[in-house]
A and B are shown apart, each in its own frame.
Chain A
Amino acid sequence: DVKVTQSSRYLVKRTGEKVFLECVQDMDHENMFWYRQDPGLGLRLIYFSYDVKMKEKGDIPEGYSVSREKKERFSLILESASTNQTSMYLCASIATSNTGELFFGEGSRLTVL
C-alpha cells in the first residue's frame, strides 16, 4: 500500500521559533508537494519538488522554505514562525508518469502562539 507519512500530526510552537515539518513517501515518486489548508480557502500550494535538490515556489511561498536531500523525504521549514502560519499542512507525492492521483499524508496541524 502506498504511504505518505508526516512525522508530526499536531505541533504547538511559539512565535519566532524555527519549525520543521517532515514528510516521507515510500513509493519512489519523483514529485513532492507541500500544501496549506485553511477553511474556506481550500488547499494552496507552498512549494513543490520534482527531483532531489530541485524545488519550485508555489502560490504562497513567503515565510517558508523547503529541503529535499533524498528522494523519499521533503521537508517544510518555517524559519521564524508567525501566528498567521497557524494552519493544516498537507504533504503529497506523485510519480512523473502518473497524472492526477496525488497521494496525501494525513496532515500536520500547526498552532503558533
Chain B
Amino acid sequence: AQSVTQPDIHITVSEGASLELRCNYSYGATPYLFWYVQSPGQGLQLLLKYFSGDTLVQGIKGFEAEFKRSQSSFNLRKPSVHWSDAAEYFCAVDLNAGGTSYGKLTFGQGTILTVHP
C-alpha cells in the first residue's frame, strides 16, 4: 500500500544541536514531497517542497531536506536548532505528481520535536 512513514514519534535535542527528521515513502513513482510544521495551537505551515531537479531543497526557518530516490527518503535537516523550533513536523506526499490531484496530500504520522535549553 502507498504510505508515508515517519519512524520517530518524538525527538529531543539540545538547543544549538543539529537535527535530522526522517521520512520514507512507499510508492512506485517519485511523488511530490513536502515538509510541514505545526507549532502549538496553530495550523500547519509549509517548510519546503520537492518536485524535481536538485535533490537538496532549502526551506524557511533555516531548514533543508534531501531527496534520495534510492532510499525513498526525504529527510529534513537543520544544522543548529533554536528553542522556537519546538513543534510537530509532518512529511507529506502528493501521490498524483504531475497529474490532477487538486492538492490532495497524504501525511506521515508526525514527529514531535522537543528542544532543551
7 interchain pairs, CB-CB under 8 A: A31-B102, A42-B110, A92-B44, A100-B105, A104-B43, A104-B45, A107-B43
How many B residues have CB within 8 A of the partner chain? 27
A98 touches which of B103, B105, B109, B110 (Cβ 8 Å): B103
Which residue of the partner chain B has the closest CB to A41? B109
Assess the B102–A100 pair: CB atoms within 8 A.
no
Which residues in B have their C-beta under 8 angstroms from that of A42?
4, 6, 90, 107-110
- Cα distance, A44 to B43, chains bound together (Å): 15
Assess the A99–B101 pair: CB atoms within 8 A.
yes
Assess the B32–A100 pair: CB atoms within 8 A.
yes
Residue A21 is within 8 A (CB to CB) of chain B in the complex: no
Q: Which of B73-109 contact A (CB under 8 A)?
A: 90, 92, 94, 101-109
- Cα distance, A41 to B107, chains bound together (Å): 9
Also in contact, A100 and B107, with CB within 8 A (given A4-B43, A43-B90): no
Residue B34 is within 8 A (CB to CB) of chain A in the complex: yes
Which residues in A have their C-beta under 8 angstroms from that of B34?
100
Residue A96 is within 8 A (CB to CB) of chain B in the complex: yes
Which residues in B have their C-beta under 8 angstroms from that of A30?
102
Also in contact, A94 and B103, with CB within 8 A (given A43-B90, A99-B32, A100-B94): yes
- Cα distance, A15 to B9, chains bound together (Å): 31
Assess the A40–B109 pair: CB atoms within 8 A.
yes
Q: Which of A18-59 contact B (CB under 8 A)?
A: 30-31, 33, 35, 40-45, 48, 50, 58
B103 touches which of A4, A31, A43, A58 (Cβ 8 Å): A31
